[in-house]
Amino acid sequence: MENIKGLRVAILVEDGFEQVELVEPRKALDQAGAKTSIVSPKSPRVRGWNFTNWGEELPVDVQLDRALPENFDALHLPGGVMNPDTLRMEPKAVAFVKAFFDAGKPVAVICHGPWTVIEAGAARGRRIASWPSLKTDLRNAGAEWVDEAAVVDGNLVSSRNPKDIPAFNRAMIDLFARMGAPTRA
């Protein structure tokens, strides 16, 4: 695993994020030396979705209203159906995501997470893996949908589902190590 010591990673979520798509990548990032922060429009806690039922509640580290993209080096967008569907309707969440793409910072997205990438206007011309039901949405947004465990396109790494998390984590950490210079805020 690459060393990403000191890298500040925002994990943007709302209620209904797929729990394993936050917890396992976060664990990998933390073990590699990153400092991860859950950012959310909701506070003080967000609740995960554990495949077919509600999951654990996790503390929000930074409320979205107070989160500044310039204080982070990279962004992770977990999936789940409810989470990105809610985030893409939240203008501040979309602006937060767009700021990472505008700055050329690395972004990791899995499952239904690309909905927020589409809403931020950052999908066009990219190769993106996702949950299969997003294939048409991605194509309509000008992206090429890819059925692979982990796809890197520029500053974006994407993946299809929880089964892909080991490959996703490796690709995410590699991308973050190559592209993410630690922020000194």
Q: Is 76 a catalytic residue?
A: no
What secondary structure does DSSP assign to 13-73, as a single string? --TTEEHHHHHHHHHHHHHTT-EEEEEESS-SEEEEEETTEEEEEEE-SEEGGG--GGG-S
Whether 145 and 114 have beta carbons less than 8 Å apart is answered as no
Q: Which of these is catalytic: 47, 112, 126, 160?
A: 112
Alpha-carbon distance of 77 to 92, in angstroms, equals 15
C-alpha dihedral sign at 24, 32, 83, 162: negative
Whether 76 and 11 have beta carbons less than 8 Å apart is answered as yes
Q: Determine the 3-state secondary structure of 180 from DSSP.
A: coil
Residues acting as catalytic residues: 112
